[in-house]
Amino acid sequence: MGLFSTVKKLLGSDAATAMPSGGQPQELAQQPVGAQTPGAQTPVVQMTDLSDTAPTEPSQAWRDSLAAALSAGRAKISDWLAVLLTDIASPGPQLWARLRFLFATLDVPGPEAEAFIAEFAAWAQAMNLQKPEDLRSELRYRLILALDLEQEQEERTSIFQKLTQGLAKTRERFSAGLGALFGRTGGLDAAFWDGLEEIFIMADMGSEATQKLISNLKTRARSMGVTEAARFREVLGSELEGIFPLPKKPKVAAAPEVVMMVGVNGVGKTTTIAKLAYRARLQGRKVLIAAGDTFRAAAIGQLEIWAGRVGAGIFSKAEGSDPAAVAFEAVDMAQREGFDLVLLDTAGRLHTKVNLMEELRKIKRVLDKKHPGAPHRTVLVIDATTGQNALSQTKLFHEAVGVDEIVLTKLDGTAKGGVMVSVAITHKLPISFIGLGERMEDLRPFVGEDFAKALLDD
């Protein structure tokens, strides 16, 4: 039994009720960390003492506290972490001992627990995780993925708070205007709709999407029987909640699953690949990263470093190589060596004489020839701080290569949330993940309902 099934049992029905009503985004990895794929690369632990015999704990009170936190019957990760990390200044024997106790209490088989601890120890060392808050946040992410707690209420709330901060600017604009509009006495007359239109335009939605949204809202208000401004918030809330389609589960007839990342310069493609690889690795998949951005040597080097850190394989060729050849040979390597997932990086721009879209189409053709059905997903990366440009980028890439889903990065900055509403309305593409920072753990599933709530909350 893996970590995952153990905790599902522990969570009981709470886990089910904590699921978002909109369902959860399609995950790149389906296996718990316990289900180590044979041959998956485990970072080598160097100079890290994994024994827990060195200094003895001055007090064993934490055992009782942890046992109590666990027997409360609900998985509340912050309670566990509080006990695990009390008086722990840095990763070391004390922490390993506590983790062993946690896993033993959860009935996690020894080898899986040891693999978790070894990988965490190696990561803490490689990333020099010394600050208690960094240690806490990394351990939290790893436990959440390994134990499949991402949709648990507490975790959703914490992501929601970050989302709300990122969307603060958009929300400010929105809520002041909406508050005044909804505070009006009276019905949904022409002045009301004009006022609403103005607010949407101010929130970077663009005129086309705004017209469409207004028309949808008129229909929805009628069907909900709402005729006065004071009740309009409900109408807007339910419209926005349903605006983001859910990612589709790709059909992968034979391994490996191939994901191609596209997007303009600097939006976060390479970083997102590292984050996706990291997630998939923590969930027990064998991941190969393919350095298809051959435009700059630095891009290849950046990926090689990340692949090493997150325990993924890397396929790269020299700077200036044909990206389609990189894609072909990477899939060949993945097939021969039993990788589950290939993440293909691509360039955001090329030398002016080569057309980027033509290049991307060629990569797709070559992939499909080599491995029918590949790429199983073409993921467009968009920087959330971009304004209306996000719309034209989506149009461009979608028309040229067919985008299956969007990853929205830099939502920790001053995100322009309204633009995503217009992308969703205009192109009906799902958003699968959001980037909330530069650390590996800062990539989380997108929940449309929460995004809408974060936009509208005042």
Ligand X SMILES: Nc1nc2c(ncn2[C@@H]2O[C@H](COP(=O)(O)OP(=O)(O)OP(=O)(O)O)[C@@H](O)[C@H]2O)c(=O)[nH]1
Q: How far is the CB of 273 from Mg ion (least distance, A)?
A: 8
**How many Å is the Cα radius of gyration of the chain?**
24
Q: What share of the chain is helix, strand, coil (3-state, %, to 5)?
A: 55, 10, 40
Restricting to residues 322-351, name those near ligand X by CB under 6 A. 348
Query: β-strand 431-435 against 443-445: which pairing, if any?
Result: antiparallel
* Residues 217, 193: Cα–Cα separation, whole Å: 10
Judged by CB under 5 A, the residue of 170, 270, 316, 378 near Mg ion is 270
Contacts with Mg ion in 285-314 (CB under 5 A)?
A: 299
Please say which residue, 33 or 273, places its beta carbon nearer to ligand X. Answer: 273
Minimum gap (Å) between residue 370 Cβ and ligand X: 24
Judged by beta carbon distances under 5 to 8 A according to partner kind, the member of Mg ion, ligand X, none in contact with residue 109 is: none
- Give the nearest residue (CB) to Mg ion: 270
| Residue 437 interacting partner from ligand X, Mg ion, none (CB closer than 5 to 8 Å by kind) | ligand X
**CA pair distance 287, 279, nearest whole angstrom:** 10
Task: Please report, for residues 291, 293, 294, the alpha-carbon distance to residue 299 in angstroms, rounded to integers and kept in the order given.
Answer: 8, 7, 7
Min separation Cβ 166 and ligand X, Å: 9
Shortest separation between residue 344's beta carbon and Mg ion, angstroms = 12
Tell me how crowded residue 247 is: count the other CB atoms within 10 A of its CB: 23
**Of residues 230-289, those binding ligand X (CB under 6 A):** 263, 265-271
Residue 7's Cβ-side half-sphere holds a number of Cα atoms within 13 Å equal to 26
Residue whose CB is less far from Mg ion, 270 or 385? 270
Closer of 129 and 299 to Mg ion (Cβ): 299
Residue 423, CA distances (Å) to 56, 213, 418 in order: 56, 12, 9
CA angle 301, 407, 243 (to 5 degrees): 175
Smaller CB separation from ligand X, 239 or 359? 359
CA within 13 Å, CB half, 247 = 24
Q: Is residue 316 a contact residue for Mg ion (CB under 5 A)?
A: no
Amino acid identity for residue 29 in this structure: A
Sheet with 287-290, edge to edge strand ranges: 313-315, 287-290, 341-344, 257-262, 377-383, 405-409, 431-435, 443-445
Please report, for residues 17, 89, 347, 359, the alpha-carbon distance to residue 351 in angstroms, rounded to integers and kept in the order given.
Answer: 52, 50, 10, 11
d(CA 198, CA 155): 35
- Please list every residue from 373 through 412 that binds ligand X, using CB under 6 A: 409-410, 412
Supply the minimum distance, in Å, between the C-beta of residue 432 and ligand X. Answer: 14
> Which one, 156 or 269, has the nearer CB to Mg ion?
269
Report which residue's Cβ sits closest to ligand X.
435
Q: How far is the CB of 293 from ligand X (least distance, A)?
A: 6
**128 dihedral zone (left: phi>0; alpha: psi -120 to 50; beta):** left
Which residue lies nearer to Mg ion by CB, 66 or 360? 360
Minimum distance, C-beta of residue 443 to ligand X, in the bound complex (Å): 7
Q: Could you tell which of ligand X, Mg ion, none binds residue 413, using a CB distance below 5 to 8 A set by kind?
A: ligand X
Q: If contact means CB under 5 to 8 A according to the sort of partner, which of ligand X, Mg ion, none does residue 279 touch?
A: none
**Would you say 226 and 346 are in contact if contact means Cβ atoms under 8 Å apart?**
no
* Bond into 256 cis (ω within 30): yes
Count of residues touching Mg ion (by CB under 5 A):
3
Q: Which is nearer to ligand X, 230 or 305 (CB)?
A: 305
Q: Which of 214, 228, 437, 456 binds ligand X (CB under 6 A)?
A: 437
| Interaction mask 408-427, ligand X, x per CB under 6 A | -xx-xx--------------
217 binds, among Mg ion, ligand X, none (CB under 5 to 8 A by kind): none
Where are the strands (E) in 148-271, listed by range? 257-262
Nearer to ligand X, 94 or 270 (CB): 270
* Beta carbon nearer to ligand X, 362 or 439: 439
Q: Which two tokens stand for residue 195?
A: 């006022």
CB of 409 vs ligand X, minimal distance in Å: 4
Closer CB to Mg ion, 272 or 283, in the complex: 272
Cβ contacts of residue 181 below 8 Å, gap of 6+? 192, 195, 196, 199, 229, 232
Residues of this chain that bind Mg ion (CB under 5 A): 269-270, 299
Residues that bind ligand X (CB under 6 A): 263, 265-271, 293, 299, 348, 409-410, 412-413, 435-438, 442
